């Protein structure tokens, strides 16, 4: 399987403070890759490097063999779409307008919006089940609806890679599952940071674990999500077993946390 | 249903200037206006010479200047609100207007004291005021950008803009203080805004700059809309956020400076019209720029009509009317959610 | 004596109307005069040498320029006023700020509020200043002279044809005087007829259109420092030959200092205005 993204020896510092170092991973084409790690580990910083907000001091990020640093914002945006957890209120723009923002990288400055473009926007709206909402102001939607709009926008943007920074935050269980299923159905390569380890376990093909600015473990979901690793990284006692709803052919696991702060993890952080 | 508000606006944009030509101190009827227009193209019509001059040389340029000013300030306000995602942004917030006013007032005060009585004075004066206004506004924009930080953060920009605005207002007050009472009161009147200086010669520059800015802003519509999603979102949609923001800021300041130089300081329009339009014209975002330009223009034409006909024979400063009409209208629109 | 009595009654009526009493001063020796016109009137009464402090624009007569400046349009240096120990302060209601005048009074200084609004108030002020400086006889003579000159001018011009005029106080924006302004009184004496007949605002802003429509025979431009002489940003009268004043080249500049001050120079000003109107009538007929 080809790798759509290859990240090699990436370093990034905010001013004099090193945040990311020796980041090294690949994203296989069509895979759903989860990025997990405790708060402040560097998940968002890493993603910002990928979508061009942070400029890495060292290393390379190759998207289909092309160095992302050599591409301008518009060329990057044609290949990578981003969904963040927080949204600005879009100052009165309707759902339709926000979905149409996905056209931005594909159109030149003075280029007219064509019939084809309009159809693309309409298709995305239908696909994400937003038809009833398309004339409503974006700011009046619920959190789950807003994320569907973002997915529709990403769909219009038609990228090779979709980056999502904690997309299921603020969503209730139903919307969390709905959202990630929709992403899965889009069939594109995804890199998503996810706080809920059970969601990660259910939806990710591969998982990267980041802590203190370094990738400390990567591999298939079953390889990475082990009791030792999770207990260590999150400093919380966990138990992992087979998911009761799991079908026979998948190795989906269930992670159970101990909610007792007094109980020490089996292996302390000092083992690192 | 959806198209009705747009059709109403287009009709208003056609009817308002004609109405404005008819309303005024001199008693001029619609048929007079028709005869005057007709006599420009054919010998079959004849019109009263004085009425013709009043309509063609006083009222028409004035109406056009009012329209251009309303359209330009509204457009500037709308673009500034978009690039800063700040609903309170207008040329005043970034010190653009106060910088321009200071430059213009400085030129008027100094030229008034030093060059009084020279020939060709008014033409030099006009150029001087325009230049002074532009330099003033450019300085304020430079200050705002240089204080905005390397990443051009909006919050810092707004704070820097407010501080710059106060700085230039203080400097303007200082010039007014140093001028003698007669000149000071005239400068004060000037700073409240008026279209009475309109003539065909000074329409060209505002017209050209409005067209250029409109075309450029239209070209950047997608970029501007993307900026509403937030800086990181916009960047991920392929927008060079900093470059777009700074160039839009410079363009709006150029446009504001040229308008301020010709009309004096007219506040509130740039803040208010974009909000009114966004509320009344939901679901018209693709044509929003056209709508804002027409709405702002029509609004200002009527403001000028009120300014010159509210008290017979008197002229009221336009700035007072925009604030008075505008704030009431604004409150009404906020009560009624939208037309659609 | 009767005349003095009448004047005194009118003064007391006048002062009561403004809600204050005249200061109890009979022969003031150290005077601070806070307006150019009060300085001129004190000099006319022959007591100009008693003025120990005044404001920025007091420039007439020549000797007034040597008086110490203790304030201007924007305010008065209260501490310097106290230091000078005046026995009379001639304040200018409307010219000085109310706060300043109130403070002078609350500091216990003898303050006379000059509240000139009409032409006749010049005589009132002369009379009061005469009383306060012990020069009432001189004051009476000046008032008599003022009245007789103005009455003679009025009489001489009352049957002459009216001359319609536009008074260009400022050009950008166009501001003028209305019939409600005291300057208009001088114009009326000479048989002038203001195109701005609405007296509600004394110094209204009007449009060029109004001037065009009322077709004035004369355009009067008060000229002095600080005035724009009609050239500031585009009032080119020569573009509008439809106006009789422009067509006949009847645009006159008259010294604004003598037209706009409540001093005895209004005699000179009125004479100049009357001569100007006479010239216009001459050309017309």
Q: pLDDT (tens digit, 9 = 90+) per residue, A202-237?
A: 999 999 999 999 999 999 988 898 888 988 888 888
SS3 annotation, A95-115: HHHHHHHHHHHHCCCCCCCCH
pLDDT band at B338 (very low <50, low <70, confident <90, very high): very low
| Residue A21, min C-alpha distance to chain B (Å) | 22
Once rounded to an integer, what is the mean pLDDT over residues A3-25?
92
Q: Mean pLDDT throughout C56-68?
A: 89
Q: Is the pLDDT of residue B234 over 80?
A: yes
Name the average pLDDT for chain B: 83
Q: Using 50, 70 and 90 to split pLDDT, how confident is the model at C9?
A: very low
Contact B237 A157 (CB under 8 A): yes
Range with lowest mean pLDDT among A42-46, A239-243, A247-251, C195-199: A247-251
Residue ranges of B 177-236 with Cβ closer than 8 A to chain C? 177, 179-183, 186, 189-190, 194, 196-197, 199, 202
Q: Which chains touch A (3 or more CB pairs under 8 A)?
A: B
Q: How far apart (Å, rounded) are the C-alpha atoms in residues A240 and A230?
A: 10
Minimum Cα–Cα distance from B200: chain C residue: C234
Highest mean pLDDT among B27-31, B62-66, B113-117, C210-214: B62-66
**How wide is the angle at C-alpha B248 spanned by C-alphas B242 and B251, nearest 5°?**
140
Query: Peptide bond preceding A113: is omega within 30 degrees of 0, i.e. cis?
Result: no
Do residues C55 and C69 make contact, with C-beta atoms less than 8 angstroms apart?
yes
What pLDDT band is residue A146 in, cutting at 50, 70 and 90? very high
* Both structure tokens of C269: 């000003």
Chains A and B: how many Cβ contacts under 8 Å? 92
CB contacts of B239 in chain A (<8 Å) are 73-74, 77, 104
Q: How far is B226 from chain A (nearest CA, A)?
A: 6
Backbone angles phi, psi at B23, to 5 degrees: -85, 135
Q: Is the pLDDT of residue B70 over 90?
A: yes
Q: What band does B151 get if pLDDT is binned at 50, 70 and 90?
A: low
Considering only the beta carbons, identify the residue of B53, B118, B313 that sits closest to C206: B313
Residue B38 — very low, low, confident or very high, per pLDDT cuts 50/70/90? Answer: confident
Query: In C, residues 93-112, which contact B (CB 8 Å cutoff)?
Result: none
Indicate the pLDDT class of residue B1, thresholds 50, 70 and 90.
very low
Q: Which member of B181, B197, B314 has the closest CB to residue C204? A: B314
Least confident of B24-28, B65-69, C148-152: B24-28
- Do residue B186 and residue C170 have CB atoms under 8 angstroms apart? yes
The helix/strand/coil state of A207 is strand
User: What is the average pLDDT across A247-260?
Assistant: 79
Q: Which residue from B minimizes the CA distance to A156?
A: B237
Residue with tokens 């009431």: B328
Q: Average pLDDT in the C56-71 region? A: 89
Average pLDDT over residues A56-82: 92
Between B149 and A191, the more confident residue is: A191
Mean confidence (pLDDT) of chain A:
89
Is the distance from CB of B80 to CB of B274 less than 8 angstroms? no
Q: How far is B111 from chain C (nearest CA, A)?
A: 9
Residue C277, SS3? helix
Q: Which residues in chain C are closer than 8 Å to B111, comparing Cβ atoms?
A: 232
CB B83 within 8 A of CB B117: no
CB neighbourhood size of A191 (10 A): 28
Give the number of other Cβ atoms within 10 Å of residue B67's Cβ: 27
At residue A210, the 3 state secondary structure works out as strand
Pairwise pLDDT comparison (C46 vs B141), residue with the higher score: C46
Length of chain C equals: 285
CA angle C69, C74, C75 (to 5 degrees): 60
Contact A75 B235 (CB under 8 A): no
Band (B263; pLDDT cuts 50, 70, 90): confident
CB-based contact C76:C34 (threshold 8 Å): yes
Q: Rg (Cα) of chain B, in Å, rounded?
A: 21
3-state secondary structure of C78: helix
Helix (H, G, I), strand (E, B) or coil at C65: helix
Residue C175 parent element (H or E): strand C174-175
Mean pLDDT over residues C75-103, rounded?
Answer: 89
Using an 8 Å CB-CB cutoff, list chain C residues near B54.
209, 212-213
Q: At residue B245, does pLDDT exceed 50? A: yes
Look at residue A130 and give its three-state secondary structure. coil
Mean pLDDT of all residues in A49-55: 91
Shortest CA distance from B199: residue in chain C: C234
d(CA C260, CA C204): 16
pLDDT class for A248, splitting at 50, 70, 90? low
Tell me if C229 and B179 make a contact (CB, 8 A cut-off).
no
Identify which of A182-186, B22-26, C56-60 has the greatest average pLDDT.
A182-186
The residue among B38 and C271 whose pLDDT is bigger is C271
Task: Classify residue C232 as exposed, middle or buried by CB count within 10 Å of its CB (0-12, 13-18, 19+).
Answer: buried
pLDDT (mean) for C210-234: 70
Which of B238, B282, B286 is facing A92, going by the closest CB pair?
B282
Q: Give contacts of B81 with chain A, Cβ < 8 Å.
A: 91
The crossing angle, in degrees rounded to 10, of helices B181-191 and B96-114 is 150
Per-residue pLDDT, averaged over C198-217, amounts to 87
Query: What pLDDT, on the 0 to 100 scale, is given for residue B185?
Result: 66
Q: What is the mean pLDDT of residues B80-89?
A: 84
In Å, how far is B3's CA from the nearest CA of chain A? 14
Sign of dihedral through CA atoms B164, B168, B170, B171?
positive
* Least Cα separation, residue B324 to chain C (angstroms): 19
- Please report the pLDDT score of residue C270 as a whole number: 94
Q: Look at B58 and C208 and tell me if their CB atoms are within 8 Å.
A: yes
Q: Report the pLDDT averaged over residues B313-333.
A: 81
Query: Coil, helix or strand for A161?
Result: strand
User: Average pLDDT in the C225-244 region?
Assistant: 64
- Specify the range with the lowest mean pLDDT, choosing from C31-45, C85-99, C232-246: C232-246
Chain B partners within 8 Å of C173 (Cβ): 186, 189-190, 194, 196, 315, 317
**For residue A86, what pLDDT is reported?**
81
- Say whether pLDDT at A35 is over 90: yes
Residues of A with Cβ-Cβ distance to B288 under 8 angstroms: none
Percent of chain B clearing pLDDT 90 (strictly above) = 27
What is the ipTM metric for this complex?
0.88
Chain length of chain A: 272
Task: Indicate the SS3 state at residue C148.
Answer: helix
Q: Which of A127, A145, A129, A187 is nearest to A162 (CA)?
A: A187
Q: In chain B, which residues have their Cβ closer than 8 Å to the Cβ of A76?
A: 238
Out of B101-115, B268-282, B312-326, C257-271, give the one with best mean pLDDT.
C257-271
Mean pLDDT of A8-26: 92
DSSP code at position A42 = S
C247 touches chain B (CB under 8 A): no
Q: What pLDDT, on a 0 to 100 scale, did the predictor assign at position A1? A: 61
Give the 3-state DSSP-derived string for chain B, with helices as H, strands as E and coil as C: CCCHHHHHHHHHHHHHHHHHHHCCCCCCCHHHHHHHHHHHHCCCCCCCHHHHHHHHHHHHHHHHHHHHHHHHHHHHHHHHHHHHCCCCCCCCCCCHHHHHHHHHHHHHHHHHHHCCCCCCHHHHHHHHHHHHHHHHHHHHHHHHHHHCCCCCCHHHHHHHHHHHHHHHHHHHHHHHHHCCHHHHHHHHHHHCCCCCCCCHHHHHHHHHHHHHHHHHHHHCHHHHHHHCCCHHHHHHCCCCHHHHHHHHHHHHHHHHHHHHHHHCCCCCHHHHHHHHHHHHCCCCHHHHHHHHHHHHHHHHHHHHHHHHHCCCCECCCHHHHHHHHHHHHHHHHHHCCCCC
Tell me the shortest Cα–Cα distance from B181 to chain A, in angstroms.
45
Mean pLDDT of B333-340: 58
**B225–A104: do the CB atoms touch at under 8 Å?**
yes
Kindly state the tokens that stand for B162: 């407010």
Mutate which of B25, B107, B260 to disrupt the C interface (most C C-beta within 10 Å)?
Answer: B25
**Who has greater pLDDT, A5 or C2?**
A5
Which of the 8 DSSP states describes residue A220?
E
Work out the average pLDDT over C97-103: 87
Kindly state whether C253 is in contact with chain B, defined as any CB-CB distance less than 8 angstroms. Answer: no
Per-residue confidence (pLDDT) for residue C88, from 0 to 100: 94
Q: Which of A9, A27, A34 is nearest to A221 (CA)?
A: A34
* Chain B residues near residue C175 by CB distance under 8 angstroms: 186, 189
> What is the mean pLDDT of the segment spanning A71-93?
89
Chain B interface, Cβ < 8 Å to A: 81-82, 85, 87, 218-220, 222-223, 225-226, 228-233, 235-240, 278-279, 282-283, 285-286
pLDDT, greater one: A250 or C276: C276
Question: What is the C-alpha to C-alpha distance for residues B147 and B141, in angstroms, rounded to an integer?
Answer: 10
Write out pLDDT tens, residues B165-215. Answer: 899 989 988 888 777 666 676 677 667 788 877 888 889 989 999 999 999
Residues in chain B with CB shorter than 8 Å from the CB of A72 are 240
Share of chain A above pLDDT 70, in %: 94
CB contact under 8 A, B283 and A109: no
Q: Which residues on chain A are in Cβ contact (under 8 Å) with B220?
A: 109
Instruction: Give the distance from residue A220's alpha carbon to the nearest chain B alpha carbon, in angstroms.
Output: 28
State how beta strands C174-175 and C170-171 pair: antiparallel
Confidence label for A131 from pLDDT (cuts 50, 70 and 90): very high
Task: Out of A112-116, B152-156, B160-164, B268-272, pick the least confident.
Answer: B152-156
pLDDT in tens, A167-204: 888 888 998 999 999 999 888 999 999 989 999 999 99
Contacts of B159 (CB under 8 A, 6+ apart): none
Q: What is the average per-residue pLDDT within B25-35? A: 83
Q: Which residues of B touch C205 (CB under 8 A)?
A: 189, 314-317
The pLDDT value recorded for residue B152 is: 61
Spatial contact of A215 and A209, defined as CB atoms under 8 Å apart: yes
How many percent of chain A have pLDDT more than 90?
60
Q: How confident is the model at residue C231 (pLDDT cuts 50, 70, 90)?
A: very low
Please state, as a whole number, how many other Cβ atoms lie within 10 Å of the Cβ of residue C56: 13
What's the pLDDT score for residue B123? 65
CB-based contact C208 B24, cutoff 8 Å: no
- The more confidently predicted of residues B189 and B159 is B159
From the CB coordinates, do chains A and C have 3 or more pairs under 8 Å?
Answer: no
Q: Beta strand A3-14 with A58-63: parallel, antiparallel or unpaired?
A: antiparallel
Beta strand pairing call for A32-36 and A206-211 = parallel
């Amino acid at each position: 399987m080809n790798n759509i993204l290859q990240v090699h020896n990436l370093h990034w510092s905010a001013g004099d403070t090193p945040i990311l170092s020796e980041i090294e991973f690949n994203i296989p084409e069509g895979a759903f890759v989860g990025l997990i790690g405790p708060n402040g580990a560097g998940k968002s910083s890493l993603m910002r490097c990928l979508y061009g907000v942070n400029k890495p001091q060292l290393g390379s990020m190759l998207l289909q063999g092309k160095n992302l640093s050599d591409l301008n914002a518009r060329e990057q945006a044609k290949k990578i779409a981003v969904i963040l957890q927080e949204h600005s209120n879009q100052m009165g723009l309707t759902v339709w307008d926000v979905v149409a923002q996905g056209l931005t990288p594909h159109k030149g400055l003075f280029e007219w919006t064509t019939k084809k473009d309009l159809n693309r926007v309409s298709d995305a709206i239908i696909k994400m089940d937003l038809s009833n909402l398309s004339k409503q102001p974006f700011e009046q939607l619920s959190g789950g609806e807003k994320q569907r709009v973002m997915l529709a926008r990403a769909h219009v943007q038609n990228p090779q890679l979709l980056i999502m920074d904690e997309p299921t935050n603020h969503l209730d269980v139903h919307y969390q599952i709905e959202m990630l299923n929709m992403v899965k159905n889009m069939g594109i390569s995804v890199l998503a940071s996810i706080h809920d380890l059970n969601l990660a376990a259910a939806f990710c093909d591969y998982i990267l674990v980041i802590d203190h600015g370094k990738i400390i473990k990567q591999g298939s979901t079953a390889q990475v999500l082990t009791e030792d690793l999770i207990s260590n990284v999150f400093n919380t006692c966990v138990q992992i077993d087979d998911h009761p709803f799991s079908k026979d052919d998948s190795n989906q696991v269930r992670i159970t946390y101990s909610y007792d702060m007094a109980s020490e993890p089996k292996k302390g952080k000092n083992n690192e | 249903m959806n198209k009705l508000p747009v059709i109403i606006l287009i009709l208003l944009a056609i009817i308002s200037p004609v109405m404005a030509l008819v309303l005024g101190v001199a008693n001029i009827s619609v048929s007079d206006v028709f005869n005057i227009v007709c006599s420009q193209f054919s010998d079959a019509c004849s019109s009263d010479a004085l009425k013709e001059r009043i309509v063609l040389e006083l009222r028409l340029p004035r109406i056009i200047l009012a329209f251009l000013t309303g359209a330009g300030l509204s457009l500037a306000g709308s673009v500034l609100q978009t690039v800063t995602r700040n609903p309170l942004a207008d040329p005043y917030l970034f010190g653009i207007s106060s910088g321009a006013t200071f430059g213009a007032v400085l030129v008027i005060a100094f030229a008034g004291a030093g060059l009084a009585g020279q020939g060709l004075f008014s033409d030099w004066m006009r150029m001087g005021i325009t230049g002074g206004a532009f330099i003033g506004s450019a300085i304020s924009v430079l200050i705002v950008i240089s204080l905005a930080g390397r990443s051009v953060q909006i919050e810092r920009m707004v704070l820097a803009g407010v501080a710059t605005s106060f700085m230039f207002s203080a400097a303007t007050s200082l010039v007014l203080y140093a001028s003698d009472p007669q000149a000071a009161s005239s400068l004060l009147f000037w700073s409240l805004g008026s279209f009475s200086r309109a003539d065909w010669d000074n329409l060209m520059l505002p017209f050209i700059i409005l067209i250029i800015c409109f075309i450029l802003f239209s070209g950047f519509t997608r970029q501007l809309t993307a900026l509403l999603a937030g800086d990181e979102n916009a960047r991920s949609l392929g927008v060079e956020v900093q470059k777009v923001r700074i160039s839009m800021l410079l363009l709006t300041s150029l446009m504001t400076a040229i308008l301020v130089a010709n009309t004096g300081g007219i506040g509130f329009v740039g803040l208010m019209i974009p909000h009114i339009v966004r509320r009344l014209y939901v679901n018209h975002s693709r044509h929003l720029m056209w709508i804002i330009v027409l709405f702002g223009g029509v609004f200002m034409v009527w403001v000028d009509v009120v300014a010159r006909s509210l008290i017979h024979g008197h002229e009221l400063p336009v700035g007072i009317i925009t604030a008075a009409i505008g704030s009431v209208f604004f409150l009404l629109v906020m009560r009624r959610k939208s037309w659609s | 004596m009767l005349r003095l009595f009448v004047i005194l009654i009118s003064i007391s009526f006048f002062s009561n109307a403004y809600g204050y009493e005249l200061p109890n001063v009979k022969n003031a020796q150290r005077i601070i005069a806070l307006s150019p016109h009060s300085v001129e009137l004190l000099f006319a009464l022959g007591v100009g040498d008693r003025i120990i402090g005044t404001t920025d624009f007091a420039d007439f007569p020549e000797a007034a320029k040597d008086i110490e400046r203790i304030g201007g349009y924007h305010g008065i240096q209260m501490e310097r006023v106290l230091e000078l120990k005046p026995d009379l302060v001639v304040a200018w209601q409307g010219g000085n700020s109310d706060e300043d005048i109130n403070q002078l009074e609350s500091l216990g200084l003898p303050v006379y509020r000059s509240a000139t609004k009409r032409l006749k108030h010049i005589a009132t002020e002369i009379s009061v200043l005469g009383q306060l400086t012990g020069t009432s006889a001189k004051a009476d003579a000046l008032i008599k002279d003022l009245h007789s000159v103005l009455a003679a001018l009025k009489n001489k011009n009352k049957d002459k044809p009216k001359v319609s005029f536009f008074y260009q106080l400022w050009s950008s924006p166009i501001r003028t005087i209305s019939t409600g302004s005291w300057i208009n009184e001088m114009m009326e004496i000479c048989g002038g007829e203001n195109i701005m007949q609405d007296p509600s605002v004394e110094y209204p802003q009007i449009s060029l259109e109004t001037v065009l429509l009322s077709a004035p025979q004369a355009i009067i431009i008060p000229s002095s420092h600080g005035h724009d002489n009609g050239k500031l940003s585009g009032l080119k009268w020569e573009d509008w030959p439809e106006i009789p004043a422009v067509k006949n080249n009847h645009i006159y500049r008259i010294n604004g200092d003598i037209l706009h001050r409540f001093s005895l120079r209004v005699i000179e000003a009125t004479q100049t205005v009357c001569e100007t109107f006479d010239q216009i009538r001459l050309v017309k007929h």
